[in-house]
Chains A and B, each alone.
Chain A
């Protein structure tokens, strides 16, 4: 068939590999075909499930225990998922009972695992990421490992303040997209305390199966920590070069 005889459907199907976008969908009249409607519905269902999934705490403790780490569990002031989604300010504060449990010696690096908007991401990726990361930061005095539920990124500020941490690292589930329901983000904050803002953090994001791998992510996080230690700050004040260790 010569190019002149090609029809839109054929051309679009042949160009489809050039983008992850949902191009070249089948038509039923002016509507999308059944298979495309189902495929979209499945991706959305997986993203929704990830948003509403609760952390399986026993399983996560088990996985961490195998890596030789015990964990303290805390909760934010958001009582449930609905409150968490509607009130980000509650997700940034500890509930009083959790706050009373947090007393400990000062530490260099406090690591918090927070469910965020995808408990699935934490469940799937946090243990393996920790296994890759901990050997790289073994020279630092570790704080207790903290598992936080209904947590926003800034919850690590209050936890770090309670525990006298020099740095807080929050590993947290990112807002699920249709193509990535289980993406993990890592946020590093120097001298964590309540009232820190997002410009005072550095982030390594998109850690998941089809995204950034564990070793690569761990190397980037460790490099950020080293740069933060040297500079005494994190966030926009910290040179972006730290993101690309060579």
Chain B
């Protein structure tokens, strides 16, 4: 359907919803690379005027990607809950923004709405929202999940401890884990990105994490971020996996490029649940996403990268994950050019994921060819903390020596907790206190007499891959 806006000295015409969404998007290099971005600043605003008048129900009637060719579209339409949608069914996209920000809409209203929201509706409204709107609206929506601890509670900022090593050396990995634990990090999970995908090595990593968590009774969960097929095979072989990880995207074609489909994710979800290793809950999946991945795999169907990212969240929520993580600055400047675009994308992704009901974390990060530095990461981290992000990454000194990019450090998490009065996941903080690692305020004690320090050191020194 044609949509028109009378803005400036001439009218602007937009052929369909797909074009309209792309042209209404805040500027980013990836949409320029795809050739779908607004041609001028005025055209971008004209698109926003036109988008504000689009009824939310239009997204039900005009799928951006045909259901006949895309199983993610089919999933979105199949799961759409018309009763849950009722409170906003008469609204336009512009009216939805006002509704979200209104004082009458609280956490309960947003939680009830989630099953009635399509990712495209959430992406659309985000394009009319300023950064502060994305913070305020997301902040109202808490999403709690449980495996061995409780994540996402009010006032909690968790950390995924990311102890990567360029050659997967067990002692090298264990040193980074200990460094993070002693700085109060690791409650979201301890998750290793292995450099290799060799099964025997992966087995040693799973066993290493299992032994650590079991021997020291740490209320957290582990993950080795390899392909889902390797994890299913490992579960079948009887290995001790906590969480099952997979990178996912918002189109069937992108998921195929990752070597997965929805059926494979269902199989993985069932396999992980069959282990019954969670003590407090059954959230067993860990998903990673990121704007731009569909374009980079030539699987974008002319849809803008932010809307496709929101569609990935429809895939995620099908499997009730413990953690979802948008790796926002990893992809490079051809998709998100600088600190401004990375900040914007981080807030959009967090907002969209939360509204759809996901436990959103963000890898606040950048590569050395992006126009960004630590100051940009500080800004993004602080804004996400204000928005109520469930967790961020904890990498020693913010420098991932395996993946060669810069993320957030353990110290960055401590900064955010202190500045905004946030704490660890409660069960994890209890363990840290029992170990005398943190004080009553939850802050790591510099000169601590840590209960199990000698044993932890011994664990590190004896680790073998």
Contacts and interface: CB of A to CB of B under 8 A. Distances in A.
Contacts of A50: 368
B117 to A, nearest CB: 33
Contacts of B169: 18-19
B406 A32 contact: no
A77 to B, nearest CB: 14
Contact of A22 (B396, B447, B449): B396
Contact of B397 (A5, A9, A36, A87): A36
Interface string A121-154: 0000000000000000000000000000000000
B175 A51 contact: no
A147 to B, nearest CB: 21
B374 A44 contact: yes
Interface stretch (A57-65, A93-101, A171-179, A187-195): A171-179
Given A40-B397, A40-B398, A86 B406 contact: no
B178 interface: yes
B396 A21 contact: yes
A199 to B, nearest CB: 12
A8 B179 CA distance: 9
B256 to A, nearest CB: 15
A11 B406 contact: no
Query: Which residue, A12, A41, A179, has most C-beta atoms of chain B within 10 A?
Result: A12
Given A11-B453, A86-B333, A23 B29 contact: no
B397 A25 contact: yes
16 contacts: A3-B453, A7-B447, A11-B456, A12-B179, A15-B178, A19-B173, A19-B176, A20-B165, A21-B396, A22-B396, A30-B443, A44-B373, A85-B333, A85-B369, A86-B32, A179-B401
Contact of B449 (A7, A20, A177): A7
B414 A30 contact: yes
B105 to A, nearest CB: 35
A85 B337 contact: yes
B368 A47 contact: yes
Contacts of A21: 163-165, 172, 175-176, 179, 395-397, 399, 401
Contacts of A32: 397, 409, 411
Contacts of B75: none
Query: Which residue, A27, A43, A48, A177, has most C-beta atoms of chain B within 10 A?
Result: A177
Contacts of A175: 367-369, 404
B374 A40 contact: yes
A158 to B, nearest CB: 19
Contacts of A44: 368, 373-374, 406
Nearest to A43: B399
A69 interface: no
Contacts of B457: 3, 6, 11, 15
A20 B169 CA distance: 11
Contacts of A179: 399, 401
B397 A177 contact: no
B175 A23 contact: yes
A24 interface: yes
Nearest to A51: B369
Contacts of B263: none
B242 to A, nearest CB: 23
A117 B396 contact: no
A172 to B, nearest CB: 13
Looking at chain A, what size class is its interface with the partner chain? 35 or more
A196 interface: no
Contact of B175 (A19, A40, A88, A178): A19
A15 B175 contact: yes
A244 interface: no
A41 B367 CA distance: 14
B176 A23 contact: yes
A9 B176 contact: no
B460 to A, nearest CB: 6
A12 B411 contact: no
B172 A51 contact: no
A16 interface: yes
Contacts of B461: 15
Nearest to A25: B397
Nearest to A30: B414
A89 interface: yes
B178 A6 contact: no
Contacts of A41: 374
Contacts of A4: 454
Contact of A117 (B29, B164, B369): B369
A202 B174 CA distance: 34
B368 A6 contact: no
A175 to B, nearest CB: 6
Nearest to A37: B374
A87 B369 CA distance: 13
Given A44-B373, A175-B369, A88 B401 contact: no
Nearest to A33: B411
A176 B456 CA distance: 35
Contacts of A246: none
Contacts of B446: 8-9, 27
B459 to A, nearest CB: 11
Interface in B400-419: 401, 404, 406, 409, 411, 414-415, 417-418
Contacts of B234: none
A8 B411 contact: no
A34 interface: no
A31 interface: yes
A123 B439 CA distance: 52
Nearest to A48: B368
B185 to A, nearest CB: 12
Contact of B334 (A3, A27, A87, A176): A87
Query: Which residue, B175, B334, B395, B401, has most C-beta atoms of chain A within 10 A?
Result: B175
B302 interface: no
A123 B409 CA distance: 33
Query: Which residue, B369, B404, B417, has most C-beta atoms of chain A within 10 A?
Result: B369
Given A21-B399, A40-B374, A178-B404, 19 more contacts: A3-B454, A7-B448, A8-B182, A11-B178, A18-B172, A20-B165, A20-B166, A20-B172, A21-B165, A21-B179, A23-B179, A25-B397, A25-B411, A32-B409, A51-B369, A86-B337, A88-B334, A176-B369, A178-B406
